[in-house]
Amino acid sequence: MYRYDEFDHTLVAERVAVFRRQVERRLTGDITEDQFKPLRLPNGLYLQLHAYMLRINVPYGCLSSRQLRKLAFIARRFDRGFGHFTTRQNIQFNWIRLDEAPDILAELADVEMNTMQSSGNCVRNITADQFAGRARDEIEDPRPWCELIRQWSILHPEFGYLPRKFKIAVTGAASDRAAVKFHDVGLYLRRNAEGVIGFEVIVGGGQGRTPYVGLTIREWLAKEDLFSYLEAILRIYNLGGRRDNPNKARIKIQVNALGIDEFRRLVEEEWAEIKASPLLNVDPAEVARITAYFAPPAWEDLPEETVALDRLRKAQPAFDAWYRANVVGHRTPGYAIVNLSLKSPGIAPGDLTAEQMDRVADLADRFSLGELRVSHRQNLVFTDVRQKELHELWTELARISLATANIGTLTDIVACPGLDFCSLANARAIPVAQDISRHFSDAATLQDIGELTINISGCMNACGHHHVGHIGILGVEKKGQEFYQLTLGGSSAEDAALGERLGRAISADEVPAAIEALVARYKSLRSGDERFLDTWRRVGIEPFQDAVYGEGVTPRREVA
């Protein structure tokens, strides 16, 4: 993974020093809260329901064991012993003291981490495929490009005060595991007709109140034009994005208002002006320097362990279930990618205790070359596990409740912190996830249901990505009570789609039964090995409405 050199270290250290001074000015009353808020937010510090919350960047989801141990230390020393991984591959701590925040940033800087631009109206953490560099369906590792974009975006003097936040995701794989089409800018590494790898550029995707699937602004962009093209997009957005209403200020609104063709025309016109600028060149030597950090590790020459694994899987159904759900093919023989589920029954999705962090760091050292990844579905990944050690790893993970065999299944639920923690939320999200995960805890049942994603958001801001869950659940508040609206048919993968509202909102108590009814209807309707999403696409909404609201009951359609 990327390592800071002295210049990266200096940049972060200077930023920490600036923030320390700003915090001091606030604590002594030199500046007001109104003045301080725009200073603390771009350092990832929010004021939430119970205390300050600190959001720490995990750049494109890559973590070292050393960094994870530091996070465990921070959880213990400065928080309440656990952290929460988010849908943007970041980690959040919930009980931070303002007067200790600068010390935390200094601790993070020691392990080459920071909180820069994890909030605020600027370019946020760059996200990527959690299997980057290891996936079999990848044409090129996106991480060097993520790091190049990260550096280009950090403290960019022109784009620190955009109309609204700006999120960028990159993947080099055929399967989209990074929700690329739901970002302000999404990048797919693609070959053009001549076989040269460049980027397909997507713009204007997003969720929130007004969800859009992103549109292709450019089919193929040469790598050397990456910065100039990004800069052109950001410029058109900075100048033309709405600033009168924060709810309409994202680039998706601008793209939709102008139409993609007109937006593209503006971008290309601006790009023509800056394309040849030496200020924006993608320097081949710098690309090579950064790419070297992501060079494949010295994998051992190992055989595929098919026979031995088959024997173990037959002998132990629990291991077999875990293998089938959580282990993914690796591009190198004898190795495997392993998902660590942060969704064991009854746990808040994405939560990890300090003790688990320390153990996971040890296991990463022992089984996965000291590195791990965070996925946007709030799980962890070991990227380089020897197949012959899978069983041993499974045993170790089970001891710390991280071997739940449910990746990609109904209980691999994505959920935002909701009203239990977040000051923007209208309803709780975590208890709903807990109820569902307790209700469907049998691995065989989950395997029979197959791929089915559930996403829960506690408000319209959609941090739980409910719009793109195969089943989406949105918490709403009515007369002081929590209710939940179901949407069906969303997808954040390469077959990107927005979910459709099923009908009237239901109470929290009714959610598990409703999921049960949807699943039962799917099982009765599916043909062959159709996924839930495929069946939904084939049969449409009505059978599922009947399942939840009763035969012949026309659900009252509600206005958003």
Please tell me whether residue 24 binds other proteins under the rule CB under 8 A.
no
Q: Which helix (H) or strand (E) holds 256?
A: helix 251-258
DSSP-derived letter for residue 376 is T
Q: Which helix (H) or strand (E) holds 74?
A: helix 65-78
Say how far apart CA 71 and CA 79 lie, in whole Å: 10
Q: Using alpha carbons only, give the angle 367, 372, 374 rounded to the nearest 5 degrees.
A: 145
Say how far apart CA 107 and CA 162 lie, in whole Å: 29
Tell me if 382 sits within 8 A of 361, measured CB to CB.
Answer: no
Please tell me whether residue 515 binds other proteins under the rule CB under 8 A.
no
Q: Using alpha carbons only, give the angle 288, 289, 294 rounded to the nearest 5 degrees.
A: 85
Please tell me whether residue 97 binds other proteins under the rule CB under 8 A.
yes
Please tell me whether residue 280 binds other proteins under the rule CB under 8 A.
yes
Question: Minimum Å distance from CB 429 to other proteins?
Answer: 9
Please tell me whether residue 293 binds other proteins under the rule CB under 8 A.
no
* Single-letter code of the amino acid located at 337: I
Please give the residues from 64 up to 83 whose contact with other proteins meets the rule CB under 8 A. 80
Q: Of 138, 137, 58, 145, nearest to 379 (Cα)? A: 58
Please tell me whether residue 161 binds other proteins under the rule CB under 8 A.
yes
Tokens of 535: 């069946």
Identify which of residues 19 and 394 has a Cβ nearer to other proteins in the complex.
19
Q: Which of 24, 261, 262, 273 binds other proteins (CB under 8 A)?
A: 273
Please tell me whether residue 35 binds other proteins under the rule CB under 8 A.
yes
**Residues 323-352: x/- map of binding to other proteins (CB under 8 A)?**
-------------------------x----
Tokens of 553: 């009951």
Please tell me whether residue 121 binds other proteins under the rule CB under 8 A.
yes
Identify which of residues 39 and 502 has a Cβ nearer to other proteins in the complex.
39
Question: Minimum Å distance from CB 255 to other proteins?
Answer: 18
Identify which of residues 170 and 327 has a Cβ nearer to other proteins in the complex.
170
Phi, psi of 398 (to 5 degrees): -60, -30
Tell me if 353 sits within 8 A of 303, measured CB to CB.
Answer: no
Please tell me whether residue 247 binds other proteins under the rule CB under 8 A.
no
Q: Of 540, 419, 545, 536, nearest to 483 (Cα)? A: 419
Please tell me whether residue 243 binds other proteins under the rule CB under 8 A.
yes
Q: Distances in Å between the alpha carbon of 324 and those of 178, 205, 309, 338, 407? A: 21, 32, 11, 11, 9
Please tell me whether residue 511 binds other proteins under the rule CB under 8 A.
no
Please tell me whether residue 174 binds other proteins under the rule CB under 8 A.
no
Binding-residue total with other proteins (CB under 8 A): 70
Binding residues for other proteins (CB under 8 A): 5-8, 10-11, 14-15, 17-18, 21-22, 26-29, 33, 35, 38-39, 47-52, 80, 95-99, 121, 151-152, 154-163, 235, 238-239, 243, 273, 277-280, 283, 285-286, 289, 348, 419-421, 428, 430-431, 434, 477, 480-482
